Chains A and B, each alone.
Chain A
Amino acid sequence: QVQLVQSGAEVKKPGASVKVSCKASGYRFTGYYMHWVRQAPGQGLEWMGWINCHSGGANYAERFQGWAMFTTDTSTGTAYMELSSLKSDDTAIYYCARSNGLGTYFDVWGQGTLVTVSS
């Protein structure tokens, strides 16, 4: 079946970087976009940006430009989100979610990865 499986929880110190993976299965990986969405504890959903899994082109929400990076490995069908210079308020659950193009909804979501930033 179609699914996105994310890597496990991470604990990082302020200033460090984190890289979260999202492995796709059950569909043609390069035919879709992958979005990244985060959710701080007890808060709502925040869209971080997308990556075109075919071309590798990416678009970042303004506040994540320069410190988030999205990549893909088409040989394994895996998308990655790396966030650098972590601060305590980056503590959140990070989700990947696919869409089959721009201007379309997110029909499949990963289970989420909790990233905790604490000294």
Chain B
Amino acid sequence: EIVLTQSPGTLSLSPGERATLSCRASQSVSSTSLGWYQQKPGQAPRLLIYGAFIRATGTPDRFSGSGSGTDFTLTISRLEPEDFAVYYCQQYGRSPPLTFGGGTKVEIK
């Protein structure tokens, strides 16, 4: 099983600041199999990024994904009020189990 470790657990930032979220895998993950989801309170997760860096339909361009192998990053260039949420990385390779990271909460400072 591929374990995904996200850091930090909580990120306290102000609107307009840059957010950098990390996702580290216990073994190499194909870049085509790494995604990021955003979850707001009381809502289902929403796909933001797939294939490590491809923005899903509707994802603003202030969100960007990068990385390869075991280290992946989600960057939010300038935080908007609606960006304060929990973010999960996921590896969805063909071989089960599919796994999620523990999440990073981006909160208003």
Contact = CB atoms under 8 A, between A and B. Distances in A.
Nearest to A106: B47
Interface residues of B, number: 24
Contacts of A50: 96
A110 B92 CA distance: 18
Contacts of B72: none
Contacts of A10: none
Contact of A105 (B44, B90, B94): B90
Contacts of A62: 97
Contacts of A35: 98
Contacts, number: 60
A62 to B, nearest CB: 7
A64 B1 CA distance: 15
Given A45-B88, A112-B44, A105 B35 contact: yes
A103 B33 contact: yes
Interface residues of A, number: 24
A64 B32 CA distance: 27
B108 interface: no
B41 to A, nearest CB: 11
Interface in B10-34: 32-33
Contact of A103 (B88, B90, B92): B92
B67 interface: no
Interface in A23-76: 35, 37, 44-47, 49-50, 59, 61-62
A102 B91 CA distance: 12
Interface string A93-119: 001010100111111011110000000
B81 interface: no
Interface of A: 35, 37, 44-47, 49-50, 59, 61-62, 95, 97, 99, 102-107, 109-112
